[in-house]
Structure 1
Amino acid sequence: MFLARVTGSVVSTQKVPTMTGHKLLIVEPYRLDEKKRDRLVTTGRTFITCDTLGAGEGDLVLVCQGSSARLTPETKTLPIDAVITGIIDSVHVEKKAVYDRSDD
């Protein structure tokens, strides 16, 4: 699993029938700043995820990737590689808050 920020969405009118009605979001993974360890910084990569929670642009989310993405009741029959499994409220590292949703 990894943390990511939702940066956009994907619209696809032509897709396999099992994907009909599922929202696809573009996410950019984040990691802990290696030097200061007091903030999250982007990795510069992007992924397309299936959203099962109603996340929106700008949200920090928890993403599950690989075959584990198909282990939820909502995704067990979907041909996906990444799913949003949580919307993050806060992140604490070494007793310090490095992210708080209320600050966004």
Structure 2
Amino acid sequence: MYLAKVIGNVVATKKSDTLLGYKLMIVQPVDASLSPDHREQVAADYVGAGVGEYVLVGTGSSVRVEENRKGVTIDLAIIGIVDSVII
């Protein structure tokens, strides 16, 4: 799991049926001081995040553990919206 900032969204008119109902967002990983850390990635949005928000991103099989998500084609998901970071 890591921190990221939502910097945009992806519109895909054709995609796997397992992705129907999910927004695809472009996320920029950030470090603890909220400075950009790595290159951008695309994540499925589980929580209704918006552009400009800081979020928690989960990766791999851990983002597919719920019964209704076991067959989805998702490797990266926004799983939380960050209210504040205290270091």
Q: Higher strand proportion, which one?
A: 1
Gaps of 5+ in 1: 33-38, 94-104
Which of these residues, 77, 81, 91, is aligned with residue 85 of structure 2?
Answer: 91
Gaps of 5+ in 2: none
Using the alignment, how far apart are the partners of 1:81 and 1:13 within structure 2? 20
Cα–Cα, structure 1 residues 73 and 62, in superposed 2: closer, same or farther, change >3 Å?
Answer: farther
Using the alignment, how far apart are the partners of 1:20 and 1:6 within structure 2? 20
RCO greater where, 1 or 2, for CA within 8 Å and sep 6 or more? 2
Displacement of 1:73 in angstroms is 4.7
Percent of aligned positions that are identical: 45
Question: 1:97: which partner in 2?
Answer: none
Superposed CA RMSD: 1.4
Q: Secondary structure at the match of 1:91?
A: coil
The count of residues paired between Structure 1 and Structure 2 equals 87
Normalised by the length of structure 2, the TM-score is 0.90
The answer as to 2:56 corresponding to 1:56 is no
Question: 1:41: which partner in 2?
Answer: 35
Using the alignment, how far apart are the partners of 1:11 and 1:65 within structure 2? 21
Q: Larger C-alpha radius of gyration, 1 or 2?
A: 1
Displacement of 1:75 in angstroms is 3.1
